[in-house]
Amino acid sequence: MTVDDRFVRDFRDSREEPLGIRNEIITGPVSDWATDFSHLEPEWAADPYPIQDDLRERCPIAHTERFGGGWLPTRYEDVAAIAYDTEHFSSRAIIMSNYRPPRDIAPVGAVPPISSDPPFHHDARKLLLPAFTKKEVAKREEAARAFCHSLIDGFEGAEIVDAARDYAQHIPMRVIADMLGFPPEDGPRFREFVEHALEGVNLPPEERMAHMGELFDYLLEQIRDHVANPRDDLTTYLIEAELYGRKLDPSHVAGTMALLLIAGIDTTWSAIGASLWHLAKTPADRERLVAEPALLPTAMEEFLRAYAPVTMARLVKEDMHWRGVDMRADDWVLLSFPAANRDPAQFDRADEVIIDREINRHAAFGLGIHRCVGSHLARMELRVALEVWLERVPVFGLADPSEVTWAPGQVRGPRTLPLRIG
């Protein structure tokens, strides 16, 4: 089999439709967050922290019958224990939804390595490590910085800009497009892919499947272009990569590209936006960082702790009694790293944003074997985005706090962020 042969046909055509489990879609107001939680409701998107704090006190492992049944631990020690426990919890699906893929999709999963279980996970993750070292990431900083400046150049004459739509979202889109060798003008399509994948969980199944089909249609188009025209980028690297002495399966190549595109964009976009939101509403912190730019790396870690964008999911492997609750096989477990990061048992003054916090072992990039492979890249993008913004726009504030909106689902960040810069 040659490289070309793998992608001549659509790899999806040769696979049998997986017989997973679908459940009833339940939406609407939450009756009690301890017994009926949903991370997709507006109250959660707007401000999940009081909800998490309340649960941590009265019901530290909350339950819901939505999504076919699931659990929400809010203490750091519980989140960490599950993240490290691959014996009892599977990563074969990491987006809590109304569909559970069949068990035989493990240990690879649909979007390796984040959807992979041991032992396959280790080898699939190892393939990606060379592209995300500090040394490799540093090579991208100059271009990222220039792009940030070009975005702010576009603000000329404006008194109010949307820092989420006009700035934050574009930075990881451009960086990931460059890494994968995708056309940078496809940015608007990337945004659609992200929103459909992460925010469209409660859409009807046929609509959700159609959106995922559009994503993989696009990825297959890019793969075929790279097969015909190889270049020095991550897509060609994955096409040519080998595991266990053979080229990767087409589904592995496309699945990993989907992971890099979706996760690589939304997480960083959300972190940049949340950091700018905090500075816009906290003049003392903004003024201090303008006056003390060397403090920014420390402040960044605090923004990542306090406004951690990412929540992951696991599936319970077998029925079990776990820390006081009876979990059933295939129950979801929502790993809220944001809740863990605000646990007062783990962090002093956990509910405060302290930009010179010295000890800060936060979990914004996850815990355990699935800790974010792109953390160096995300940190570089966040630092450069904030450095350039504070240099070019040292004075700014919220134009109208009520106009700020936040993404629902497992990656939370500002979707609209109108800032007054004039």
What are 80-97's pLDDT values in tens digits?
999 999 999 999 999 999
Q: Number of folded domains in the chain?
A: 1
Tell me if 299 is assigned to some domain: yes
pLDDT at 14: 59
CATH number at residue 207: 1.10.630.10
5: in domain: no
Give the residue from 215, 212, 216 showing the smallest Cα distance to 203. 212
The answer as to whether 3 is a domain residue is no
CA distance 81 to 289: 36
Residue 303 makes CB contacts below 8 A (sequence gap 6+) with 271, 274, 275, 278, 353, 355, 382
pLDDT for residue 1: 44
Flag whether 2 is in a domain: no
Q: Packing angle between helix 296-306 and helix 375-392, nearest 10 degrees?
A: 120
Any domain includes 252: yes
Specify if 88 maps to a domain. yes
Say what the pLDDT of residue 9 is: 78
The answer to whether 312 and 410 are in contact (CB under 8 A) is: yes
Q: Is residue 6 part of a domain?
A: no
pLDDT less than 70: residues of the chain? 1-4, 13-18
Range of the domain at 78: 11-420
pLDDT digits (tens, 9 = 90+) for 9-50: 777 765 555 579 999 999 999 999 999 999 999 999 999 999
Q: What is the pLDDT of residues 108-166, one digit of tens each?
A: 999 999 999 999 999 999 999 999 999 999 999 999 999 999 999 999 999 999 999 99
Structure pTM?
A: 0.96
**Chain position carrying tokens 């490289």:** 3
pLDDT at position 3 is 46
202 in any annotated domain: yes
- pLDDT at position 7: 86
